[in-house]
Structure 1
Amino acid sequence: PKQMNQNAQTMYGKLRMHQQSGSYSPLTFLYAVSILAQISNDSSIQELRQVVKFDNKQLLCQVANITNDKQASIVANMFSRRIGQISSAFMSQMMSDYNFTPEALISAQQVNQWCSRHTNNKIPELVNDISDIETIILSAFHFRDEFEKKFQKELTHEDIFHGLTKSQKQFMAQTDLFDFAKTKQFTAVKMSFRDSKMQQIFAIPTKMEEIDIDEVVNANFQRKKVELKIPKTKIENTLRLKSILQELGVKKIFVNINAQESLGSVLQVGEIIQKNFIDTNEEGTEAASVTGVIFGKSAALAEEAEVFIANVPFVSLLVYDQQVVMVNSIVE
């Protein structure tokens, strides 16, 4: 599986997204981790690379492709109290590979304004206090576009969603030609956007906990007439990823990282936070994600229509060039 799909699958299970609605972005997580991996090559970073498997060259190529899409953006930055101790070689590498120059960490407002600016104000706050923060790596993703085939607002209606509990939701509806796939494991429909290569896949799995994300992305989709019924969804969530990474076997970066050559000090990662936003309505989808790696202070139409009615728990995937940039679980 491609690296973002593989990471999405791993974290989907660990975050128990089959038990609660939520969003996770492998794109902003891996981009932030990619920068983290450049600050040292000590045993802590080697352990990180062994557990969170990613090909840095492939990742940077994928980021470059997304950056060239006029409806999507992925950017990064680093703010540090020790800006004067950062080596010129590291500064040059960040500019050449990640297109930013580390800045002095001054305030929480500074960090939050950066997050807000790069997510169309959808993620206005990541931190509320920087007193215990020595350095922070940030990666931010934003996407907004209209569906190629929009839903008519007058057809939107209230109906029952059979999730963990029954609830009333506003369902969008249309019947048209869409890319459609059906296997023993899932039923899926793919929607395209007007001005972007991004696609959104809606998948109803036989069992939410057993969905294979890479199989969904690479399913044999065929153009069919589909009676489509999907609830309007808006998700905002915050993920603290330290405990999950520790479960997976990433431990040493939370103790210490020898970053003397790059950042001029020994640091430890205190937490990795991700905030996500996605809003899908009749017009299209807007999505945003920020991942922050927070370092603490020095430490050692003629055919019969197929039917896709998402009134039971389902997954929606934002996919760019067959790679998942955000996985969203709707179970309630």
Structure 2
Amino acid sequence: MKKTFLNIAMMATAVLAMSACSSTKKISENNSNDMTHLTADDDLDPEFMVLSDAQYDLVKRNNQFALNLFSEMKGMGSKVVSPMSVTYLMAMLANGAETTTRDEIMATIGAKDFNIDEMNAFYAYLMKRAKTADKQTNLNIANYIALNKEFKLKKDYAATIDKCYQGAVEALDFNDGKSTQRINGWCSEHTDNMIPSIIDQVEPAAVAYIMNAIYFNGTWSEKFDKNDTKKEQFYGFTRDIKYVDMMHRNAKYYYTSNEVYSAVTLPYGSGAYSMTVLLPNDGKFVDDVKKCLNADSIASLRRNMEECLVDLKLPRFTTEMKLSLKDIISKLGAPSMFDASRADFSSFANGNVYVSEMLQKAKIEVSEEGTKAAAVTMGMVKLTAIRPDEPRRVDFHCNRPFVYMIQDNYTGAILFMGQYGGLEKLKD
């Protein structure tokens, strides 16, 4: 029998206790679809906890948002984005919004059919899980609101950000240059200096800067030997030949293939997180891979993987990117929050406000040791199985552009996603 990746991942990953924000009741044994039963202080036996169908549905819909976001990143060069970081920022914005503005935000990130308490509970759970899922992997999710001292957050909103998103709220003098240093210092602190800054200068007229930071530092479960890394040819989008530092390892990995691409999953640490690399077949391209990716195909990809002996070649690379999200998020279904005449953030703070800018800075470093990745997303608010006896042998040589994603193996949530085109560092 083939040894499937999903079965092994589910067995290897301990199921953690749910954390939520609206009740102290415990989840019933019938696996209720209600996601608001637990608080962050509940201590349940993880062996008896599983995600409900509703929770898996929320992950699936949010992964579709991740793919939609990734598909909007045009161009042939190397790119990286953290859809999860964008999701956390938008979820915090949703809590301050009402009417159409809230509906659009929640629908865009896949939470259309969920009430806001259910959504908050699930993202609180993911934050708690990030701290404990894998002791050999560092995943940190942090939230922060730098508030113009002339304004005051609504009491209920501030309580939700504190309880569900563990978000620090700090009143600053936006006329003082030290506020810029403080905001950028928070970015640096929560990304191990991978993202040292997010703004050039605080705008005195701004009401608040709402931010999420995600930092990932994972060591491969089985590292590459640096002595096996060689300069090798890499064929770019136009078939131009570049030379990259190509890592090499011959070992057992989970692998699958179809008529468009082949895929290999590289686990980190004890296996709670992994990187999946999707390599276009000969005659196919990254755009062909993107076109056939959706939430269902991502789920089936994981189910269909089998353990093979893989001759793996993967470039050592660094990619960093600054991405303006305002037009992209508007196109994906949430335009009103950027429109001063239509935005409804009546649950956020005193005064009529709207989101004047949204952007993300992201960076990823892939080496023989593992992967470091970080992202800061900012919104500026202004007033108005069984082991086979003989594993199949396959070659997986990433000598041409490819797609990759870093996922939580238990929930399937996509933390980072990108493409490598042979350029080491690309900024917009």
Fold agreement, TM-score > 0.5: yes
Counterpart-to-counterpart distance in 1, 2:155 and 2:265 = 46
* Distance of aligned partners of 1:109 and 1:324 in 2 relative to their CA distance in 1, 3 Å threshold: same
Cα deviation, residue 310, structure 1: 0.4
Distance in 2, matches of 1:180 and 1:319, equals 16
Partner of 2:26: none
Q: Which moved more, 1:183-192 or 1:193-202?
A: 193-202
**Cα distance in 2, alignment partners of residues 182 and 128 from structure 1:** 45
Measured after TM superposition, the shift of residue 216 of structure 1 is 4.1
Partner of 2:317: 233
Q: Secondary structure at the match of 1:85?
A: coil
- What SS class does the counterpart of residue 288 from structure 1 fall into? strand
2:15 maps to: none
Q: Provide the aligned C-alpha RMSD in A.
A: 2.0
**Deviation per CA, 1:27-46, whole angstroms, max 9, x where unpaired?**
10001100000012132222
Partner of 1:94: 161
> Is 1:265 aligned with 2:351?
yes
Following superposition, the deviation at residue 317 of structure 1 comes to: 0.8
Larger radius of gyration: 2
1:75 and 2:133 matched: no
Say if 1:118 and 1:228 are closer, same or farther in 2 by CA, change over 3 A.
same
Amino acid at match of 1:278: I
CA contact (8 A) 2:98 2:346 kept: no
Q: Which consecutive segments of 4 or more residues in structure 1 shift more than 6 A?
A: none
Q: Is the Cα contact below 8 Å between 1:82 and 1:263 reproduced in 2?
A: no
Kept in 2, the 8 Å contact 1:145–1:195? The answer is no
Q: How much does 1:15 deviate?
A: 1.2
**Post-superposition offset of 1:246:** 2.3
Structure 1 residue 185: deviation in Å? Answer: 2.4
Question: What's 1:134 paired with?
Answer: 207
Whole-angstrom distance in 2 between the partners of 1:157 and 1:101: 45
Distance of 2:97 and 2:332 partners within structure 1? 21
Tell me the CA shift for residue 200 of structure 1. Answer: 0.8
Q: Would you say the 8 A contact 1:318–1:327 is kept in 2? A: yes
For 2:99 and 2:63, the matched residues in 1 are separated by 27
More divergent stretch after superposition (242-251 vs 309-318): 242-251
Selected match of 2:374 from 284, 288, 294: 288
Q: CA deviation at 1:318?
A: 0.5
**Partner residue, 2:264:** 189
* Aligned residues of 1:51 and 1:250 also touching (Cα < 8 A): yes
Displacement after TM superposition at 1:67 (Å): 3.1
Residue of 86, 90, 97 corresponding to 1:33: 90
2:162 & 2:392 partners in 1: Cα distance?
A: 54
- Counterpart amino acid of residue 178 in structure 1: Y
Q: Number of paired residues?
A: 329
C-alpha distance in structure 2 between counterparts of 1:94 and 1:24, whole Å: 24
User: Are 1:169 and 2:216 counterparts?
Assistant: no
CA distance in 2, matches of 1:45, 1:283: 42
- Kindly state the Cα deviation for residue 261 of structure 1 after the two structures are TM-superposed: 4.1
Residue 67 of structure 2 aligns to a residue in which SS? helix
Q: For residues 403 and 380 of structure 2, what CA distance do their matches in structure 1 show?
A: 30
1:204 maps to what in 2? 279
The answer for the alignment partner of 1:146 in structure 2 is: 219
Measure how far apart 1:53 and its partner are.
2.4
| Contact 1:105 1:135 (C-alpha < 8 Å) held by counterparts | no
Q: 2:74 aligns with which of 7, 16, 22?
A: 16
Unaligned runs of 5+ in 1: none
AA aligned to 1:174 is R
> Which residue in 1 is equivalent to 2:185?
113
Task: Report which stretch shifted further, 102-111 or 249-258.
Answer: 249-258
What residue in structure 2 maps to residue 246 of structure 1? Answer: 330
1 or 2, which has the higher strand percentage? 1
In the alignment, is the contact (CA less than 8 A) between 1:4 and 1:325 conserved in 2? no
What corresponds to 2:18 in structure 1? none
Change (3 A) 1:260 1:58: closer
Aligned letter for 1:315?
A: V
SS in 1 for 2:199: coil
Report which stretch shifted further, 227-236 or 50-59.
50-59
Residue aligning to 1:315 = 403
Please list the CA deviations of residues 210-267 of structure 1 after superposition, one character each: whole Å capped at 9, or x if unmatched: 3215424541111110000010111111100111122234221112333344311111
Change over 3 Å in CA distance of 1:146–1:261 after alignment to 2: closer
Partner secondary structure for residue 126 of structure 1: coil
Shift of 1:197: 1.0
Query: How far off its partner does 1:302 sit?
Result: 5.7
- Whether the 8 Å CA contact 1:225–1:304 is kept in 2: the answer is yes
C-alpha distance in 2, partners of 1:122/1:73? 13
Match of 2:32 in 1: none
Change (3 A) 1:213 1:166: farther
Distance 1:112 1:258 in 2: 28
Query: Residue 171 and residue 9 in structure 1: after superposition, are their counterparts in 2 closer, same or farther (change >3 A)?
Result: same
Task: Provide the rounded CA distance (Å) in 2 between the counterparts of 1:150 and 1:15.
Answer: 31
Paired residues for 1:52-63 under 5 Å = 52-54=109-111, 56=119, 57-63=121-127
Preserved contact between residue 345 and residue 354 of structure 2 (Cα < 8 Å):
no
> 1:123 is matched with which residue?
195
How far apart, CA to CA, are the structure 2 residues paired with 1:159 and 1:248?
Answer: 39
Distance 1:307 1:58 in 2: 39
Change in 2 beyond 3 A, CA 1:292/1:179: same
